[in-house]
Amino acid sequence: MPYPPAYLEYLWYIHLVYSMLGQVWGLVIPAVDGVIWLFIAGACLLHMGSRAYKPVVWGLCTAVLTIAIQVLFYDPAAPVARTEIVEFFSWMALLITVQALSARPGFLHRFALVASGIGLACVPYIQVRVVDGVARAWATGTQIATPNVLGMWFGFCTLYFVFFGLHCSASRVLRLSSWGAAIACFFILLIAVSRGPLLGLMLGCIIGLRSTLKANFVPLLGFVLLIWLVFAIGVFDEWLDYYFFRAAEQSGRERLFPIAIERILDSPWIGVGLADVAIRNSVGKFINPHNGLLHIALGAGIFPMLCFVRYMAQAIIGAFCIVLKEHSVGESALLPPLVMFSLVEIMILDFSFMSPWVAVAFSLASTQQGSVYSGERLRKQGNDYLR
């Protein structure tokens, strides 16, 4: 299968930077974002052909069915519905683009560097606000502004740098640099005081360390000692207190989930419409169900939800195939923990499945079932990137 040209990948990175930081930099030009998206996705689709998109076809079906049901049975012009329809179109463009670019060797590594660069560019805009007695970080003005989204973004970067360092056996400098970046990203995740990304990080590490514990005991021990040294200095003490405070709070999901399921059962075939997904909580405030699957099922019924489950299943199966391998190298070695992190975030937040890092992890993992990731290509990536 031919690789898409390099300019499409770098144009997508420029688009990511623009969409994430354009507003805070004062560079927003109406309609430019959509035009760039259409060009990139259209060029990728024409270059790769439809057969290359089998790993993400169920994700595309999810978006198409959701939009179609909203247009046919509900008012697509309602403000909330119109916004979500645009988001689903953008998600389709994201899936098409990422699936094409995932054929390029080393794509995950370059994307992770861009993602961490975007995170670094957001650092000057981070403000700590006290909400209900808890100090949390907000990247005001950026597209990762809220604590939950900020924590997810830096959680992905943390997980990537942790396991890149573990698998980077040839260069101690590169390994230490990667772990230093992981600690810096973890600090931002910590000050966001978001429990979901922290849980996803822990589960991702458990999955990733299953296959690396025996082969990389010495570097793993070094990383643990480095973490212990940072905690011994007391850098994170204040923020850990905030987590203990929030641990005593109820998340509210135990009340939202049953209500959401009841509403789905009342209208299982076409949902309640994207404009009516929000649920009234105990204090009378309308909030989303905090679960990607429930959000899709509420908005458009069980058929789009089943398509989305099939989309996730391909990524899970691909990651499981990697775990079963005796030796994994290159990008594939990093995918199981990233897929686990993505799954956790999808289960606790509504729109995390539309994040670029989720699309990248799922696309690369789903492709593990096909011939694109042959043994020869895996060996080539291992020699090029993690030797």
State the DSSP string of 42-54. Answer: HHHHHHH-GGGGG
Q: What is the pLDDT of residue 27?
A: 81
Higher pLDDT, 31 or 311: 311
- Type of residue numbered 148: N
**Between 362 and 380, the higher pLDDT residue:** 362
State the pTM of this model. 0.84
- Which helix (H) or strand (E) segment is 67 a member of? helix 57-73
12-21, 107-116, 122-131: the lowest-pLDDT one:
122-131
Res 383: pLDDT: 43
Token pair 């830096």 in the structure block, residue: 154
Strands 286-287 and 279-280 turn out to be: antiparallel
**Beta bridge mates, 131:** 134
C-alpha to C-alpha distances, 327 to 13, 21, 91, 339, 381, nearest whole angstrom: 31, 39, 33, 18, 13
How do 279-280 and 134-139 pair as beta strands?
unpaired
Short-list 97, 100, 141, 126, CA closest to 193:
126
Per-residue confidence at 158, pLDDT binned at 50, 70, 90?
very high
Domain ranges of the chain: 6-252+283-385
**Whether 119 contacts 161, CB under 8 Å:** no
* Residue 113: burial class (beta carbons within 10 Å; 0-12, 13-18, 19+): middle
Structure tokens at 136: 């949390």
pLDDT value at position 37? 82
Write down the pLDDT at residue 101. 93
Beta-carbon contacts of residue 291 (< 8 Å; ≥ 6 apart): 253, 257, 260, 346, 347, 348, 349, 350
Average pLDDT of the chain, as a whole number: 81
Helices (H) and strands (E) in the chain, counts: 16, 4
What's the pLDDT at 84? 92
Give the number of C-alpha atoms closer than 13 A to the C-alpha of residue 171, restricted to the C-beta side.
14
Q: Which helix (H) or strand (E) holds 142?
A: none
21-35, 87-101, 303-317: which has the minimum mean pLDDT? Answer: 21-35
DSSP 158-225: HHHHHHHHHH--S-HHHHHHHHHHHHHHHHHHHHHT-HHHHHHHHHHHHHHHHHHTTTTHHHHHHHHH
The tens digit of pLDDT for each residue in 268-291 reads 999 999 988 888 766 667 788 888
CA distance 108 to 54: 19
Residue 198 near residue 155, CB atoms below 8 Å: yes
pLDDT tens-digit series, residues 299-348: 999 999 999 999 999 999 998 888 777 555 667 888 999 998 999 889 88
State the DSSP H helix or E strand holding residue 148, giving kind and residue range, or none if neither. helix 147-167
Whether 331 contacts 106, CB under 8 Å: yes
Q: What is the SS3 assignment for 132? A: coil
